[in-house]
Amino acid sequence: MAVRCSIASCQGGSRAEMSRTFQCLDGIRTLAESGRFKAWFLDQFGVLHDGKKPYPGAISTLEKLAYHGAKMVIISNSSRRASTTINKLKSLGFDPSIFLGAITSGELTHRSLERRDDSWFAALGRSCIHMTWSDRGAISLEGLGLQVVSNVDDAEFIMAHGTEALGLPSGDVLPMNLEALEQILELCAKKKIPMVVANPDYVTVEARALRVMPGTLGAKYEKLGGEVKWMGKPDKVIYASAMAMAGVNACDCITVGDSLHHDIKGANAAGIASAFVTGGIHATELGLGGFGEVAGTDTVQSLACKFDAHPSYVLPAFTW
C-alpha cells in the first residue's frame, strides 16, 4: 500500500508543494528477496534490540537477510566505539560475523579527535569538560591526548558522551542529573567554548522506556547560543562511511531506523532509501502500545511531515 504525503511550506513568501510517498510493509521479506538493495544500514536501538534484549524475530531476520546476499552495516548514534557496539550485539545473542562492521558516532568522534585532520578539530584545544555516563558505564578518553577539567574557566571545549555524570580529572565520574549538567552548559556558553556531541540522539529506547541522550544537551547548548559539532546521524558523513565500507553507491543501499529526525532525515540527505520502524522512539506518538502493532497511515504521514523526514517504506518492526 502506498500513501501520498503532501507538505505545504513557505519559501520566499510563496507556497511550495512537495509530494512524498511511502509503502507500508509487514516485514522486509519482499525487499530482501527482490535483491533491490545490495547493502542494508541498520540502526540498533529501537530496531534490533531495546538495549536489554533482541526484539522478537530480529536475529532470524538478519540471518535470512544474509542468506539473500545482503551486506549489512550497523550505523548507530551510540557514543561508544564500533568494537564496543559489536561486542554489545554479541552479548545480546547476535552473530557479529553477519555484519561487515559498525560505524558509530562515537567512533567518528574518536577518530576526529585523534587525527585532527580538519580545521575545526585542529583548532579545538586539549582541555575539556567531559559529560559522560555513570550507570551505563563511563567512556574513556584514553589515547586522545585530552585533559579533563572540572572548572569551566580551564576548559577549551565540551565533550558530550553521556547525560548521567561529569568526568573528573582523576578519571572518576561524578553522577549528576540533567539539570545540573545544563547549569554547567550555561557557564560554558558565557565563555563561548564549542561543544562536541558524540551521540546526536535526543532519546533512545531502553526496555520500552525512553532514556535521555546527549543530543538533548547539544540542543540546549545551541539554544544558549553555543557552537555544537554534531557527530553522527542525520549528518551525511556516517552514511558515506557506511557506503564506503560496503562498497556501494547510494542507489544500492537502504537504511532501517526508528528515528525520523536522525535515521530517516539523514537517509534523505544522503540520497538513499529508508525504512522507518514505527515501534521505536515514536511508538507513543503513533499511539502504539505493544510490539508489532501497526500504526495508522494517516498518523505516520502526519508525523513524517512534522519532521520533514520521508521514509521509502514503513514497518511495524524489523521482522521477516
Q: Give the residue, 195 or 134, on which the prediction is more confident.
A: 195
Band (pLDDT 50/70/90 cuts) for residue 228 is very high
pTM for the whole structure: 0.86
pLDDT digits (tens, 9 = 90+) for 270-310: 999 999 999 998 998 999 988 889 999 999 999 999 999 99
Q: What is the pLDDT of residue 212?
A: 86
Q: In sequence order, what DSSP letters do the residues of 42-88 get, joined into one string? A: E--BTTTB-SSSBPTTHHHHHHHHHHTT-EEEEEE--SS-HHHHHHH
Q: Which three cell numbers stand for residue 139?
A: 567512556
- 9 falls in which pLDDT band (50, 70, 90)? very low
Any alpha helices (H) in 92-197, and if so which ranges?
105-115, 119-122, 178-191
Q: Is 180 helix (H, G, I), strand (E, B) or coil?
A: helix
Q: 102-111: per-residue pLDDT in tens?
A: 999 999 999 9
CA distances (Å), origin 179, targets 151, 185, 235, 294: 17, 10, 27, 36
Q: What is the spatial distance between Cα 173 and Cα 193, in angstroms, rounded to a whole number? A: 22
pLDDT digits (tens, 9 = 90+) for 144-165: 999 999 999 999 999 999 999 9
Neighbours of 136 (CB within 10 A): 17
Query: What average pLDDT does this structure show over 9-14?
Result: 35
Position 173 scores a pLDDT of 93
Cell numbers 564496543 label which residue? 84
Question: Distance between CA 59 and CA 56 in Å, rounded?
Answer: 8
Sequence-separated (6 or more) residues with CB below 8 Å from residue 4: 19, 20, 21
